[in-house]
A and B are shown apart, each in its own frame.
Chain A
Amino acid sequence: MSGDKEHAIVVENLTKDYGDIRAVDDVSFTVKRGEVFAFLGPNGAGKTTTVEIIETIRAPTSGRVSVLGLDVATSRGAIIPRIGVLPQGFNSFDRITVAESIRFYSRLFGGSAADVDGLMDLTELREKRDVQFKNLSGGLKQRLGIAIALVNDPEVVFLDEPTTGLDPHARRAVWSVLQGLKSKGKTVFLTTHYMEEAELLADTVAIISSGRIVATGSPARLTEMHTEQLRVTLSPGDAASIDLIQRMGFNPARTIDDGVDIPVRTSDDVLGILAAIREAGLPAPSGLEVRRPTLEEVFLKLTSEPPAERSRRSAP
């Protein structure tokens, strides 16, 4: 089916049941070689189950999954050496140091030549090489996990929630490591529930909710597709202007800092509003902001809709 050069991962009609509970429901998507693919979804949406099936750790109930052209059901032994995995909530042996951990995992892959120092440089862990795992901070643990995910120089790297629970600095440090991976041409499968992470790093985003894919595309395209509106904020927003804007047929709302927020369709609407204010001789606003809603707003919208409405929407 999918021994193609273009795709690193092909998932077709994947379903996974745990007893009566359907964790993953007829999911299909593809990941291109060399891209960063972000798998977004709220907690419990089926992200980790899907990832673990692709990693060959879990068996699917039905459907087909191939990684690098190899079927996960039959080619586990051939897939494992070519992928790298950072599991969710990564932990290593408490009393084993950074360098020892990296060496241990590289030996599991038979890699005598694994470049322990190089991996520590890439993940900025060299100073911590002799620190035991239990004494590392959350961010350093995750970076060690990424270094370990790379010991076999994998073609596809799976990172399951690499920045969950990290402070903003630690998160940025992990992001810079991920950008390094991307520039090396690795295919990265990133699972996250942080939109800014996906917006910053991902070429393609898939949003999963309650076991079903509700949207896929580039971050920009997703925001475009799923929000019809732009948002204009004028400040200060005096009563006369608000009245005027209302009469033009818009739906302005006061913001907490005395501005006025107006949903509009196009940038022509923005120009029209500004022209009308000037013509009416009202004071020109000193602040003006026009923005497209963020991926986070798209995400919240898509993942909070009832399933029936959602499946209709995601049908095309």
Chain B
Amino acid sequence: MSPRVVAATLVVRIRSLYRERSALFFTFAFPIILVLVFGAIFTRPERLNFELPVQDHSRSEASARLLEGFTADHVFTILPVPLDVDPALYAREHKLTLLLVIPSEFQSWHDLRAVERDAAAGAPLTYVHDPSSTSVDTKIQLLNSIVAAANQRYSGATAFITLVPQSILSGTYRFIEFFVPGIIAMAIMTSALSNALNSNAELRQKGILRKLAATPITRADWLVSSILYQLMLAVVSTGAILLTSYLVFDVRLHIDMWLPLIVAVEVFAFVGIGMTLTPLAKEAESASAVSNAVLFPMMFLSGTFFPVEMMPGFLQTVARFLPLYYVNEALRAAMIFADSASALRWSSILAAFAAAAFVAGTIRTRWGE
């Protein structure tokens, strides 16, 4: 072994790495981005003072005393919820992970048990929770321990207050149900963006674009064909994801006209974003660097793999500037909650992104030169 040969080889390798942007990105920048993103998500300081939205239909002395127990050690802050709303719907719309409902009969149940000494009298309280939230379990445990303490004030073998969990959803809802729409959104984004960037850079580098420039094909022809192509890929991959998750995990999501609509708007949005970024990515290397730099943060910050609500506030703000966030929200609204109003709202924002990207992209792309 010759140290000189080893050293020379080492120098050549380091130079090549240093000069290849996408290799540099994956070797150094990518892990650092992951550390920053996940670090920011998972090292969020635990808040002891939770907010507890309560819909108090009883508004009685008994319910007031119960609520005092919740706020006693500054464990919970009570947020009153309007009485005329459906609690599950309200929780969904306001992205609440836990909501307690005190029924109007609470005072009379209390009187039965405490005054008339009816040991059989009980007060079932419903709490609406979002099972996909990871922080909700801690809150439910706290809720249980406070209720247990409150029950000690009542004599008798059976507990006076019982907690009845109600999912934020009508049907069953597991993490996989949350996950599948996110994966659909991600797959379409990745395909549309990397096609627009990487394949275009490849065609440019090989001179195929120059050859095409010497034929009657127009920019509109080219664009329409890429959009149709991406739509076809999106339909096939969405179908495959849905079928696999149904067959393997029995995931049954709500499929209606919103699904194809949102998928189509997403294709438009990311083909447009790809067009806008094309001038930055003239070579295959810079193309993959650019697409990675866009794809990965978007994947982790837009609620693809976990709810955006888990992230610290500033990252939640960042998410609201990312088009993929609106795809995720729209798809989940449509496929999990069957909530057309929300699906419409989110996909309209997405459509605005798509329109902006298209205008910017059309201005920036030119044939040949």
CB distance from B330 to the nearest CB of A (A): 35
Contact B208 A57 (CB under 8 A): no
- A217-254 interface mask toward B, CB cutoff 8 Å, 1 = contact, 0 = none? 00000000000000000000000000000000000000
- B217: Cβ under 8 A from any A Cβ: yes
Q: What residues on A are CB-neighbors of B215 within 8 Å? A: 80, 105, 108-109
- A29: Cβ under 8 A from any B Cβ: no
Question: Which positions 201-217 of chain B face chain A at CB distance < 8 Å?
Answer: 206-208, 210-217
Question: Which positions 102-160 of chain A face chain B at CB distance < 8 Å?
Answer: 105, 108-110, 148
From the candidates A80, A81, A87, A110, name the one contacting B210 in the complex (CB within 8 A): A87
- B369: Cβ under 8 A from any A Cβ: yes
- B368: Cβ under 8 A from any A Cβ: yes
Stretch at the interface among A88-96, A168-176, A290-298: A88-96
| Cross-chain pair count, CB within 8 angstroms | 45
**Separation of A148 and B215 alpha carbons in the complex (Å):** 11
**Separation of A105 and B207 alpha carbons in the complex (Å):** 15
**Separation of A83 and B214 alpha carbons in the complex (Å):** 8
**Separation of A312 and B217 alpha carbons in the complex (Å):** 44
**Separation of A231 and B112 alpha carbons in the complex (Å):** 128
CB distance from A47 to the nearest CB of B (A): 15
Name the residue on B nearest A93 (C-beta): B208
Name the residue on B nearest A81 (C-beta): B216
**Which of B207, B215, B367 has most A Cβ within 10 Å?**
B215
Asked, given contacts A57-B368, A58-B368, A59-B369, whether A109 binds B210 with beta carbons under 8 Å apart, the answer is no
Name the residue on A nearest B368 (C-beta): A57
Q: What residues on A are CB-neighbors of B217 within 8 Å? A: 108
From the candidates B211, B216, B367, B369, name the one contacting A87 in the complex (CB within 8 A): B211
**Separation of A80 and B211 alpha carbons in the complex (Å):** 11
Name the residue on A nearest B212 (C-beta): A108
Contact A92 B216 (CB under 8 A): no
- A55: Cβ under 8 A from any B Cβ: yes
- A85: Cβ under 8 A from any B Cβ: yes
Question: Which positions 351-369 of chain B face chain A at CB distance < 8 Å?
Answer: 367-369
Contact B208 A80 (CB under 8 A): no
Q: What residues on B are CB-neighbors of A90 within 8 Å? A: 207, 211
**Separation of A88 and B210 alpha carbons in the complex (Å):** 9
- A45-61 interface mask toward B, CB cutoff 8 Å, 1 = contact, 0 = none? 00000001001111100
Dominant SS among interface residues on chain B: loop
Q: What residues on B are CB-neighbors of A81 within 8 Å? A: 216
Contact A91 B206 (CB under 8 A): yes
Contact B207 A88 (CB under 8 A): yes
Q: What residues on A are CB-neighbors of B369 within 8 Å? A: 57-59
Asked, given contacts A57-B368, A58-B369, whether A91 binds B207 with beta carbons under 8 Å apart, the answer is yes
Q: What residues on B are CB-neighbors of A55 within 8 Å? A: 214
B: number of interface residues (CB 8 Å): 14
Question: Which positions 236-271 of chain B face chain A at CB distance < 8 Å?
Answer: none
Q: What residues on A are CB-neighbors of B207 within 8 Å? A: 87-91
Contact A110 B216 (CB under 8 A): yes
Contact A85 B211 (CB under 8 A): yes
From the candidates B206, B210, B216, name the one contacting A57 in the complex (CB within 8 A): B210
Q: What residues on A are CB-neighbors of B206 within 8 Å? A: 91
CB distance from B21 to the nearest CB of A (A): 23
Contact A87 B214 (CB under 8 A): yes
CB distance from B28 to the nearest CB of A (A): 31
Contact A91 B208 (CB under 8 A): yes
CB distance from B135 to the nearest CB of A (A): 49
Contact A109 B211 (CB under 8 A): no
CB distance from B84 to the nearest CB of A (A): 62
Q: What residues on B are CB-neighbors of A148 within 8 Å? A: 211
**Separation of A44 and B210 alpha carbons in the complex (Å):** 18
CB distance from A210 to the nearest CB of B (A): 22
Contact A92 B368 (CB under 8 A): no
Contact B216 A80 (CB under 8 A): yes
Q: What residues on A are CB-neighbors of B213 within 8 Å? A: 57
Q: What residues on A are CB-neighbors of B216 within 8 Å? A: 77, 80-81, 108-110
From the candidates A85, A92, A108, name the one contacting B208 in the complex (CB within 8 A): A92
Q: What residues on B are CB-neighbors of A58 within 8 Å? A: 368-369
**Which of B207, B217, B367 has most A Cβ within 10 Å?**
B207
**Separation of A108 and B368 alpha carbons in the complex (Å):** 17
**Separation of A110 and B212 alpha carbons in the complex (Å):** 14
Question: Which positions 333-367 of chain B face chain A at CB distance < 8 Å?
Answer: 367
**Separation of A109 and B215 alpha carbons in the complex (Å):** 7
Q: What residues on A are CB-neighbors of B210 within 8 Å? A: 52, 57, 87
Q: What residues on A are CB-neighbors of B212 within 8 Å? A: 108
CB distance from A75 to the nearest CB of B (A): 13
**Separation of A110 and B217 alpha carbons in the complex (Å):** 10
CB distance from B195 to the nearest CB of A (A): 14
Name the residue on A nearest B367 (C-beta): A57
Cβ contacts A to B, 26 pairs, < 8 Å:
A52-B210, A55-B214, A56-B214, A58-B368, A58-B369, A80-B214, A80-B216, A81-B216, A85-B211, A87-B207, A87-B211, A87-B214, A88-B207, A90-B207, A91-B207, A91-B208, A91-B211, A92-B208, A92-B211, A93-B208, A105-B215, A108-B212, A108-B217, A109-B215, A109-B216, A148-B211
Q: A57-B367, A77-B216, A89-B207 are in contact. List 14 more A-B contacts (CB 8 A).
A: A57-B214, A80-B216, A83-B214, A87-B207, A87-B210, A91-B207, A91-B208, A91-B211, A93-B208, A108-B212, A108-B215, A108-B216, A110-B216, A148-B211
The 8 A-B pairs of least Cβ separation, nearest first, read A85-B214, A91-B206, A108-B215, A57-B368, A57-B213, A87-B210, A108-B217, A87-B211
